[in-house]
Amino acid sequence: MKILALNPGSTSTKIAYYVDGEIIEEMSIDYPVEELQDFKYVSDQLDYRRNHILSFLAEKKIDLTQLDTIVGRGGILPPVTAGAYEVNQPMLDYLTKKTKIDHPSNLGALLAYELKEQANKRTIAMIYDPVSVDEFDDVARVSGLKGVPRKSIGHALNMRAVAMKVAREAGIDYQNGNFIVAHLGGGNSVSIHSQGRMIDSISDDEGPFSTERTGGLPLKYVFDLCETHSKSEMLRLYKREGGLKSYAGTSDAREIEAEISAGNQELAIVYEAFIYQIAKAIGSLATVTDGKIDRIALTGGVSHSQKVASGVSKRVQFIAPVVIEAGEHEMIALSKGGERVVLGEEELQLFNY
């Protein structure tokens, strides 16, 4: 079984070549920022990125015609259930003409489809666990202001993969257990998985602040900023200039920890608040299943930090055992998702809107 997995990011495309249960080749194609600036929209980068991928495949002597499936990261689609979706014309139309956010993940389906055209008739072009996976219970959608519902947007691919991995290693059926997963990176997402569904999550705009995002803010004070800042400036503050970066001038947790070790007491308090808010989000989600949680998992790049991992664990381990799954597991998640479809263990769904 031969699978090609594609994960387009803002300045790179990660590629994995998966054969019979194992990733054989994996790399990240990094793009110079000055070259990307030539493209007005992310979707305009399709040919540029495809050509780089084809060069990689030629270098590694990977034959497109031998692939069983090409699986891309899922983009900003309307709310969908978790799992695998065949890349079809409605999906391509939505991602190129109707999606509201011009996001790099939208290229996952487009690239998979383009490469399939050069493969063979039996090759499947698909996406797996797109950003817009939504399995919320109805009660989780209510925000507190009519007309502004809570939405399921976050690191679904990595969080579901980690939840299933942790369940498997603990000898617990993912379909019958309760798990909380905190993805800690440039943005933080915390989700709860119950009976095989991700039934609620706390997104990067409403929960704990991250290395560069504000998380939830006290609204009545944010209103004052809105009077002196444009919408684009507010989005920049929330998404790129908030969180630890706003306090420390850097979003690199390693640099911040070094400053704290050197005696910066002000940053020490901010960093403790960073850990405190992550733990508080985990604690709040534990109430969703009446405190019945089998495992808590920390994942994402920031969970490599021993200070963060131990600090969060200390505060939440009374709820359930804590497992550290540092880094991102997206490439193996894409590959495994493709494998399950090819083996007939998981249904390939059709996208319509």
Report the pLDDT value the prediction gives residue 120, as an integer from 0 to 100. 86
Report the pLDDT value the prediction gives residue 131, as an integer from 0 to 100. 86
- pLDDT tops 90 at residue 321: yes
pLDDT band, residue 353 (cuts 50/70/90): confident
Query: How far is Cα 202 from Cα 209, in angstroms, rounded to an integer?
Result: 11
Report the pLDDT value the prediction gives residue 9, as an integer from 0 to 100. 87
Report the pLDDT value the prediction gives residue 3, as an integer from 0 to 100. 98
| Residue located via tokens 């001038």 | 249
> How high does pLDDT run on average in the chain?
95
Q: Could you list the beta-strand ranges (E) of the chain.
A: 2-8, 12-19, 22-30, 69-73, 84-86, 124-128, 178-184, 188-194, 197-202, 295-300, 322-326, 348-350
* Axis crossing angle, helix 265-286 with helix 253-261, rounded to the nearest 10: 130
pTM beyond 0.75 = yes
Percent of the chain with pLDDT over 70: 100
Kindly report which listed range (4-8, 48-52, 99-103, 319-323) carries the lowest average pLDDT score: 99-103
Report the pLDDT value the prediction gives residue 209, as an integer from 0 to 100. 97
Q: Tokens in use for 332?
A: 């193996």
Judging by DSSP bridges, how do beta strands 348-350 and 84-86 pair with one another?
Answer: parallel
Amino acid present at 95 = L
Write out pLDDT tens, residues 34-61. 888 889 888 899 999 999 999 999 999 9
Report the pLDDT value the prediction gives residue 43, as an integer from 0 to 100. 87
